[in-house]
Amino acid sequence: MRKLFYNGEVITADKADSVHQAIVIEDEKIVFVGSTQKSLKYIDEETETVDLCGCSVLPGFVDCHIHMAVAEAKSGDEIFLTAQNGIKSVADVLTEVENAAKGKNEGEWIVGSAYNHEELQEMRHITINELDKVAPRNPVILVHKSGHMSVCNSAALRVAEESGLQFPTEHILKNTDGSLTGLLKETAHFMMLSKSPLLPDDEALVTGIEKFCKKMLAAGITSSHDAGGYGTATYRSLQLAKKEGKLKNRVYAMLWTLFGKDAQIQNARTMIDSGFYTGLGDEYLKKGPIKLMVDGSAVGGTCATEKPILPQMNIFPTTFSQKELDDIFCEAHRAGFQLTAHAAGDRAVEMTLNAYEKAMEHFPRKDPRHRIEHCFLCPESLIERIKKLGVLPILNPGFLSVWGSVFEKYYSDRVEDIIPLKSFERYGVMTPFGSDAMVIDEFEPLFGIAAAMERRDIKKGTVIGENQKIDFMRALKSYTFFGAYASFEENIKGSLEVGKLADIVILDSSILGKSPEKIRNIKVAETYLRGKTK
């Protein structure tokens, strides 16, 4: 079936930033891009024609960091502590926990998700004493929206103690008198998760994948780089979803588990020992990089930095030592894997680059395209190294619109190093974009593109790093061609060029020349995957 779209604004995202009027797709591929007049030769009795009426056509978006395999997967009867669910204060959270406890037997867990102290009226964390008062007989864990911390009650901490868990002291928050606050960060938090009933079963995971795939396609995302989560359960559920026809877009899967440092090491070893490496699979599901979480969260103020994080003047350690990173990444690189690391703070970025450099020096390999997820704080000295090593920083511009004011509070002394989009462009570094949903709700690429252009907190109005804004075309490429490049697939997708897969997005209006505010309000009218509307 041949389909001709004409009289539009076909923004190709090719090397020349070409914009045309028409595009023709046939047999799941693009067969023509050019003027409306020249496209007419493709019309015959079987050609379907679509008058775009000036609307824009874009390449299918590639979200390079999204937890799509777990975003919609729910583990039973967890409670959702979001503003959308009416949670606006500490009292609201405690009421939800108390009501949940009434329906539980003694010792049964209460799991709260999407908890965010920054959105509560009091702008503070729930305390262990408050949780103990409303749920004294049940273990409680409230998982923070950032994914990097949680608040637990005494019953939950007793479960951890009785199971032999020994939390790193620097990740257990205490009051000035030495008593526990209930707040766990980073390694302590992830270790605690391993003892909670967080992991959904396969059926829930597959159902969640199907639901979130539909949401992504509605937003124009035809390819996603799944950032991992539940380790082997995630990999298995992705394959099951594909087998059952429920995997609706293309997935490049990062190989990672969230259940603590030891679990990450075991996962990496298992992947290396399997003999299979990055690239195994097909256009719909492909094995991606081995991932390690080197530090904490930028929004949680727990990333590993060279200078103290304001206002408490904290410096958080990395999860892995330099030797541990070197050993794992050198072995994985030698085995043929693309490597990636969650590294938000500049100290974590530097350590990751050290490990990559060592791996590439000891075991030379052509074009490994190693990555750094987030790369949040990145001064020019590190950008120079990133360019030299051919590393891809996977950036999350949407964070600036959602949490810009939080970043100003923590990093006001170095705002030009926060997601330094323009600096990367000046150095000629590709910057694939990812939303990091489920960490934020606003996963739509048009939201991320607008954020990259204006760098403004949409609630507070704060602009973070005025000099690091980029233009529309660069932002579009970061969500299309650069994303395809990050998974070694730039020859088959990422731009609207003859011979490439017919993954295209049609908007409900023209987008060129529009302000970031107007871009955020443009809608995706239709998404085509391999030439078929979804």
- Determine the pLDDT at residue 193: 87
- Collect all residues with Cβ–Cβ distance below 8 Å to 285 and sequence separation of at least 6: 238, 239, 242, 247, 250, 251, 253
The arithmetic mean of pLDDT across residues 487-512, rounded, is 98
Report the C-alpha gap between 432 and 420 in whole angstroms: 13
**267 inside domain:** yes
- Given a cut of 90, whether residue 338 has pLDDT beyond it is yes
- Given a cut of 80, whether residue 104 has pLDDT beyond it is yes
Q: Let me know how long the chain is.
A: 534
**311 inside domain:** yes
* pLDDT digits 0-9 by tens, 460-499: 999 999 999 999 999 999 999 999 999 999 999 999 999 9
- Determine the pLDDT at residue 166: 87
**242 inside domain:** yes
**441 inside domain:** yes
State pTM to two decimals: 0.92
Q: For the chain, first and last CA: distance in Å?
A: 16
Last residue of a domain, one of 170, 193, 216: 193
- Determine the pLDDT at residue 75: 63
Q: Let me know whether 172 and 234 are in one domain.
A: no
**2 inside domain:** no
Report the C-alpha gap between 75 and 79 in whole angstroms: 10
- Determine the pLDDT at residue 91: 96
Last residue of a domain, one of 193, 211, 242: 193
- Given a cut of 80, whether residue 203 has pLDDT beyond it is yes
Pairing label, strands 250-255, 285-293: parallel
**21 inside domain:** no
Which helix (H) or strand (E) segment is 84 a member of? Answer: none
- Given a cut of 70, whether residue 76 has pLDDT beyond it is no
Q: Let me know whether 219 and 109 are in one domain.
A: no
Domain CATH for 176 = 3.10.310.70
* pLDDT digits 0-9 by tens, 386-444: 999 999 999 999 999 999 999 999 999 999 999 999 999 999 999 999 999 988 989 99
**533 inside domain:** no
* pLDDT digits 0-9 by tens, 130-177: 999 999 999 999 998 888 889 999 999 999 989 888 888 888 889 989
Phi, then psi, of 393 in degrees rounded to 5? -80, 125
Q: What's 78's DSSP letter?
A: -
Q: Let me know whether 126 and 261 are in one domain.
A: no
Domain membership of residue 170 as a residue range: 79-193
Domain CATH for 222 = 3.20.20.140
Q: Let me know whether 271 and 228 are in one domain.
A: yes
**487 inside domain:** yes
Q: Let me know whether 110 and 208 are in one domain.
A: no
Q: How many of the other CB atoms lie within 10 Å of CB of 294?
A: 26
Q: Let me know whether 171 and 292 are in one domain.
A: no
Q: Let me know whether 189 and 205 are in one domain.
A: no
Last residue of a domain, one of 193, 215, 249: 193
CB 284 within 8 A of CB 291: no
The CA distances from residue 94 to 112, 121, 144, 154, in Å, are 11, 14, 15, 15
* Paired tokens of 265: 């090491």
* Paired tokens of 304: 């590993």
Phi, then psi, of 523 in degrees rounded to 5? -110, 150
Q: Let me know whether 144 and 276 are in one domain.
A: no
* Paired tokens of 528: 């085509």
Regarding predicted confidence, which is higher, 201 or 518?
518
Q: Let me know whether 129 and 214 are in one domain.
A: no
Q: Let me know whether 274 and 187 are in one domain.
A: no
Q: How many domains in the chain?
A: 2
Q: Let me know whether 462 and 341 are in one domain.
A: yes
Name the one residue in this structure whose structure tokens are 């052509």: 366
Q: Let me know whether 164 and 269 are in one domain.
A: no
